[in-house]
Chain A
């Protein structure tokens, strides 16, 4: 026989402790699973967001690339239109000759060579010309040469006046050919 001994408080305390342990036993794996799934979802969404951003960027790049290709094909890009460097050299000679003759000038000599450039796809056409042009038509000739495509970039020149109202000009410059995509 024993007295009332064990208290109700002890029974309730034991129930609370057991409930807490049971809850922990259930809740901890649930929380772990919840967090693990959350991490997976977060990571996956980050990857998908990144992929979407990359896709947008790729689209933007594609669009920008198309615009640049269109620009490179356009006359305003300032390049000589030719399939090869040699063709470009001959085109440059013809172009300059025609330009000088259009201004009633006479070409004394023209030399041209093809050389590489530090930029991809670019070939430089080095041109050296000696010509006589009426002084009054010199500005028009120079503007056409430098400001209208294909552009010539003048590196040096010597301009001399003469008594017959003609200007003698020796000019060194470069023109450029762009290697376009084969489409």
Chain B
């Protein structure tokens, strides 16, 4: 249970620091009584160490500042880490407060046998210890003078101290204690608060809009589904209707179609009359579908045959029988193919 609580404390602590709006440096300046080390803050990788007893330690510190300027910016912002022996972590019965009977400074002062006015006490998370009945608040404490000296030295060496913390801290204490924080902020607390509220408002409005859009769409879907269900049967007889109409039309046009598909007798006879030479007389005309047989008398049968062939209605005139009567007039029987139907 504690490991989960520790994990959450670390995680939320880190995030709180990230989103606090305070300027953070990627570098830390670890102080001790004998040396000063510049480190990469996240991974504690040393970039340079200077012994305070070295004769040219100020030159070397200037070298560290130069590195810090290149890494973190022109003012060489750093986080200052106090040595282990300058910071104490205490477990106090919860709750703790700034004033009253739970006054943290007084209680810490009791614990470390110092005056409350000499100390800076930073409360951390509340944890439940296995052997304690009351939940414990982890409190980090350091002397005010130590903190002031650290800040003062850092400034003197040309660094900009963003915050002062300890060299390390308990796992339950996320981000470590904040004994000192510069006023330098990435953005003002007001802007941070505005951004936070605007973000919240945006999230709420987005959620509302999404919910409303989903609801509306679901409603439209349901309405259109109901409409579709109600209109679907209307189209049931379309195929049958088309078939019935086609059959009806096919039948109703029967007489007209039949008339246009056959050669009218009057047309066939008028065409024959038009192509017959003047010296030919027809006695009989027999018509069967596709052919007509002509019987008659005349002298110019060849001319008649050619004239018949020229007609678009007739073709293939064939003399079937001829006999010559008195005065050179021939009796004939001729078969002719009827090509096409008559006029519409």
Contact = CB atoms under 8 A, between A and B. Distances in A.
A57 interface: yes
Nearest to A14: B11
B264 interface: yes
A164 to B, nearest CB: 14
A101 interface: no
Interface in A49-93: 50-52, 54-55, 57-58, 61-62, 64-65, 68-69, 71-72, 77-79
A183 interface: no
Nearest to B210: A30
A28 interface: no
Contacts of A9: 42
A72 B252 contact: yes
Q: Binding site of A, secondary structure by majority: helix, strand, loop or mixed?
A: helix
B258 A176 contact: yes
A2 B10 CA distance: 12
B9 to A, nearest CB: 11
A159 B284 contact: yes
Interface in B201-233: 210, 214, 217-218, 220-222, 224-225, 227-228, 231-232
Interface residues of B, number: 65
B168 interface: yes
Given A1-B169, A68-B252, A158 B285 contact: yes
B285 A4 contact: no
A64 B252 CA distance: 12
A5 to B, nearest CB: 8
A24 interface: no
Contact of A65 (B15, B18, B28, B248): B248
B59 interface: no
B254 A51 contact: no
B250 A4 contact: no
Given A6-B10, A139-B270, 13 more contacts: A3-B168, A30-B210, A37-B217, A37-B218, A44-B228, A47-B232, A51-B234, A68-B252, A69-B248, A72-B248, A120-B247, A120-B251, A150-B255
Interface of A: 1-4, 6-12, 14-15, 30, 33-34, 36-38, 40-41, 43-45, 47-48, 50-52, 54-55, 57-58, 61-62, 64-65, 68-69, 71-72, 77-79, 117, 119-122, 138-139, 142-143, 146-147, 149-151, 153-161, 171, 174, 176, 178
23 contacts: A4-B42, A4-B176, A11-B15, A34-B214, A36-B221, A37-B221, A44-B228, A47-B232, A48-B228, A55-B234, A62-B241, A68-B248, A77-B256, A138-B269, A139-B266, A142-B265, A146-B259, A146-B266, A153-B255, A153-B259, A153-B262, A156-B286, A171-B265
